[in-house]
Amino acid sequence: MPRTTKPMFAGLDMTGVTLTSATLTWDFIKRLKDVTTMKVIVKGLENGEDAALAVKSGADGIIVSNHGGRATETGRPTIECLPEVVQGAGGRLPVLIDGGVRRGTDVFKALALGATAVGIGRPYIWGLGAFGQAGVERVLQILNTELRLAMIGCGTTRIADIAAKSVIDTRRQM
């Protein structure tokens, strides 16, 4: 059976809206949700205020991202933005992090700071470029092993047990 496709924004009034324009407002999330049954995930948030607006606007998830530093190369790293975004989302939707994950310890830190999941774009691409599928599988194996070692080092036996106390010195006043 042939696969049918339709334009990305078919059925959505895109008059005066471009995806890189200041005319893109939080109302756009509702407009997208009105024409699709798919989940709408907002990528590129870096602060708690925007996370709260994403929740209020009906987003189904958030990806904390600085787009590889291309958009805001002098801004905060995503791992520094993560706790604020997680707090802004208030547990009402998943918060993923995309950017800066190079080791299993980075995965551990992101999970400890509240990420639901992490993106591993660059390591994945490096493995793919160097050795194809076997390279990707090896990258995933290395990250998994490093994550397990970090968990052992912090006394956590399950992903669900990873907590902020493992990466934040709670004895210090913030």
pLDDT digits (tens, 9 = 90+) for 51-80: 999 999 999 999 999 876 555 567 788 999
What backbone torsions phi and psi does residue 59 show, to the nearest 5 degrees?
-60, 150
Q: What are the beta bridge partners of residue 62? A: 42, 95
Active site residues: 67
Nearest CA among 105, 113, 116, 107 for reference residue 149: 105
Distance from the first to the final alpha carbon of the chain: 60
Higher pLDDT, 8 or 96: 96
How much is the mean pLDDT over the chain?
88
CATH number of this structure's domain 37-166, picked from the four choices 3.40.50.1240, 3.20.20.70, 3.30.365.10, 3.40.50.300: 3.20.20.70
What are the pLDDT digits (tens) for 74-102?
778 899 999 999 999 999 999 999 988 99
Share of the chain above pLDDT 90, in %: 64
What are the pLDDT digits (tens) for 97-135?
998 899 999 999 999 999 999 999 899 999 999 999 999
What's the confidence (pLDDT) of residue 66?
83
Separation CA 65–CA 45 (nearest Å):
6
Which residues are within 8 A (CB) of 139 and not within 5 positions of it... i.e. 6 or more apart? 120, 123, 124, 126, 127
Res. 17: pLDDT tops 70: no
What's the confidence (pLDDT) of residue 156?
95
